[in-house]
Amino acid sequence: MDGQALSGVRTGPFVAGERATFTDAKGRHHSVRLTPGSMFHTTKGGLAHDDVIGQPEGCVVRSVGGASYLVFRQLLEEFTVTMPRGAAVVYPKDAAHILVQTDIFPGARVLEAGAGSGALTMFLLRAVGPTGRVYSYERRDDFAKIAQRNVETFFGAPHPAWTLRVGDLVETIGDEPIDRAVLDMLAPWECIDAVGARLVPGGMLCCYVATTTQLGRTIETLRAHGGFTEPVGREYSARDWHAEGLAIRPGHSTSGHTGFLIFTRRLADGVVAPARKRRPAPGAYGPDYSGPRPVGVDPTETAE
C-alpha cells in the first residue's frame, strides 16, 4: 500500500471509483461512489458523476434542476458514522479522547477488543502508522466480517498493520507485548489479568463501557488487581452551537451519553502503588457490597 492508502487520505482531483460527499444547501450529506456515466438523483434533478470526476475537492456542481452541491472527499469521522454496522460503533467524540488520553503514537503496538464494526480500528490504524501494529479481537464472526469489510473499504485494501482475531480475548490473546490496550466489551473486568500480563510497564489501558454498573465493576477490578495506577472514569458530551447575528443559542445536534471511558496505566512488575490518601466513603465497601475490594479495605467497614 502507498502512503495515501495507508492513511486513507487521498489528494488531488476526484477520480472514478472513489467516494465523494455531496452537501446540499440545508447541510444534508450524501455519500456517492463516483462512476463514469452515472447520475446522482435528487428532487432537484440528476447530477452527473462526470461533472465531479477530474474536479478538485471543494468544488460546486449543479443538478439539472439548478440545485448547488458542495463536493468533498468523505472524512474518516463521516465514514464511521454512516458505514454498515453490526455492533454499535465508538463515536468520534469518544474515539478522539481515546487516541489522545492513551497517547496512541506512530509505531505503537495496540490491542483492541472487541473490533465491533471497525470504527475505532480505523482511527487506531491511522494513528499507529505503517510501523505500528493493531491487534483486534472480536468474539462474533459476523461482526468481525463487517469490521474487515469496513476497514478494507476505507483504506482500499487490507491494512498491513492490522491483525484481526476471532474468539474470546482471554482464550485467543497472543503473546506479543503491547504498549496500549482498549477494551470495548460487555465485561472488561474479565480480561484485566490477561491484558495486564502483556501490557508493558507504563502502558496505557482504556476501558469503554455503557452503564454505571459496568463502570463501577471495572474500576474496582483494576484497583484490586494492584498493578495499575488509580483508574479515572470520565464521560464526554458534545454540543453544536448556532450563531447567526444576535441569534446565538445551543444547536439542535447534541451528542450526549454514549459511554464511559476509564483510563489507567500499568505499573512495573512487582510494584505496589502508594495507598490512596483519600479514604473511601463510609459504607462504600460495607457488608452489602459483593464486588472486588482494593487492597487494605476493611471488609467489616460500615456506615457511621
pLDDT of residue 303: 39
Q: What is the pLDDT of residues 197-254, one digit of tens each?
A: 999 999 999 999 999 999 999 999 999 999 999 999 999 988 889 899 999 999 877 7
Out of 47, 74, 101, pick the residue that ends a domain: 74
Domain count for the chain, please give it. Answer: 2
Q: Which residues are annotated as a binding site for S-adenosyl-L-methionine?
A: 117-120, 138, 168, 184
Assigned domain for 8 exists: no
- pLDDT at residue 282 is higher than 90: no
More confident residue, 8 or 161: 161
Contact 134, 121 (CB under 8 A): yes
Q: How far apart are CA 279 and CA 273, in angstroms?
A: 15
Angle between helices 119-128 and 92-101 (to 10 degrees): 40
pLDDT of residue 284: 77
Out of 50, 74, 98, pick the residue that ends a domain: 74
Q: What is the pLDDT of residues 73-128, one digit of tens each?
A: 989 998 998 898 988 889 999 999 999 999 999 999 999 999 999 999 999 999 99
Mean pLDDT of 137-156: 95
Q: Is 67 exposed, middle or buried (0-12, 13-18, 19+ CB in 10 A)?
A: middle
Are 112 and 206 within one domain?
yes
Mean pLDDT of 290-298: 70
* C-alpha torsion 136→139→144→147, nearest 10: -60
- pLDDT at residue 50 is higher than 50: yes
Q: Which domain holds residue 109?
A: 78-265
Q: What is the CATH number of the domain that holds 156?
A: 3.40.50.150
- pLDDT at residue 142 is higher than 80: yes
Highest mean pLDDT, choosing among 29-38, 102-111, 254-263: 102-111
pLDDT of residue 304: 40
Are 93 and 65 within one domain?
no
**Residue-averaged pLDDT of the chain:** 90
| The pairing of beta strand 109-113 with beta strand 178-184 | parallel
- pLDDT at residue 54 is higher than 70: yes
Q: Which residues are annotated as a binding site?
A: 117-120, 138, 168, 184
Are 121 and 241 within one domain?
yes
- pLDDT at residue 279 is higher than 90: no
- pLDDT at residue 302 is higher than 50: no
Are 242 and 202 within one domain?
yes
Q: What is the pTM of this model?
A: 0.86
Are 121 and 149 within one domain?
yes
Out of 24, 40, 74, pick the residue that ends a domain: 74
pLDDT of residue 300: 53
Are 125 and 203 within one domain?
yes
